[in-house]
Homo-oligomer: A and B are copies of this chain.
């Protein structure tokens, strides 16, 4: 469904949110360990998200990644869009460029409903909201 990149991104964001709630900044090594992802790979992903302002970072001692209030309220849809673009929310299910409302592909209308449901679900899932549900146990973020 999502790319690996995107999965790591979501997991990392939830992980960072949790740590931020606990008052900590968190280093890339700990994030990689915490979500069981390749260290340098998740570093790259977070660099990109940092550039886009989806996550905050600070260099040097006591540095690391964290979320400000705006980032804490971002939705999973924002993350998916930042990483994978919005082809998953838009584009035709059969990959047809021409497909549109006026010239719909065979599954256009059905597909639209599914995609909208997916978007709504992700849009309603705020990064910061997961922390309550987790109650300190982050174990399940590891693959």
CA separation between A109 and B82, bound complex, in Å?
Answer: 24
Q: Are A121 and B110 in contact (CB under 8 A)?
A: yes
- At the interface, yes or no: A7 with Cβ under 8 Å from chain B? yes
Copy number in the complex reads 2
0 or 1 for each of A75-110: is its CB under 8 Å from B? (1 = yes): 010000000000010010111111100011111001
Chain A residues in the interface with B (C-beta under 8 A): 1-2, 4, 7-8, 10-11, 14, 76, 88, 91, 93-99, 103-107, 110-111, 113-115, 117-118, 121, 125, 130, 133-134, 140-143
A-B contact pairs, 30 of them (CB 8 A): A1-B1, A1-B91, A1-B115, A4-B95, A7-B93, A7-B94, A8-B95, A11-B96, A76-B107, A95-B143, A96-B140, A96-B142, A98-B140, A98-B142, A98-B143, A99-B140, A103-B140, A105-B140, A105-B141, A106-B125, A106-B130, A106-B134, A106-B140, A107-B121, A110-B121, A110-B125, A111-B121, A113-B117, A114-B117, A114-B118
Top 7 A-B pairs, shortest CB-CB distance: A7-B95, A106-B130, A110-B121, A114-B118, A96-B143, A97-B143, A7-B94
